[in-house]
Structure 1
Amino acid sequence: MSKFFKKVAAILMAATIVTGTVPAMAGNVKDSSYEFVFRNAMNYTELRSKKDYTSMYMSCQDISSTGASYTAHAVGSRTSNGPKVNCAAGTYTFYAGTTSYIANYVKERGYEYGGIAGAPNYSFTYTAKGVWSPDSV
């Protein structure tokens, strides 16, 4: 009888492993390039589908004026070209070389698309370039 119970236990363990595995929902983590041209006005990344509740990701690779910065926050929208709504869970200052995970309430507020707004910290014209994604790992 002990061989029988060992076989049953092995089958139950295998079934638990197989049925207990749930595929993870993949976030939208592919980086997209952005370029903000600041002329005393807010700039926005494109709106992209937000798949999960994780932070957004932004990496500023270059700013045209040495020492300049901008302040960023999350926005949400119902469509890929709809109005942008502030979904910030904080603001983040970016200099050339800064990388941040941007907390947000896009999914919590029922929006399907997310983006990042960038506000200039100076009154002169300058550009900022880098990559971003609406979800993170």
Structure 2
Amino acid sequence: MKILDIGVLSERSGVPPSTLRYYEEIGLIQSIGRRGLRRQFGNEALTQLALISLGKTAGFSLEEIKAMLGKGGVSDLPRAAIHARADELETQIRRMTALRNALRHVADCPAESHMECPRFRRLVIVASKSSHRTRSAMPQKI
């Protein structure tokens, strides 16, 4: 087993030492010991950090990622939750693609005034309805 000093692990993973210490504190990664005051990690910590980064990018919380990593390095992937998150990302991608297309149209529209452009007016109506649906899906404060 190759042993990595916290500084080397930080350099190779791109994760600051303070974050590595925090991840260890909350149980996402484990050091295998110390050399003086410096934590030492096994090479598998690089893989764990890559998985943590992937999970964070996908929108999972650190608690959810911790549960997925499982105990003793045995992963416990909640496939239904991963499917649900993939579905949410698909919806977000569709919305962002529509927004990108709308912005490109606005930037390239030959109409003298955007309000004279029928396509722009339709986009405004669609955006308004989408915004209203998003707000009404959110819990209301009482």
User: Which bin holds the TM-score, normalised by the shorter protein?
Assistant: under 0.3
User: What's the TM-score, normalizing by structure 1?
Assistant: 0.20
Greater share of residues in strand: 1
Higher relative contact order (CA 8 A, sep 6+): 1
Structure with the largest fraction of helix? 2
Q: Which has the larger radius of gyration?
A: 2
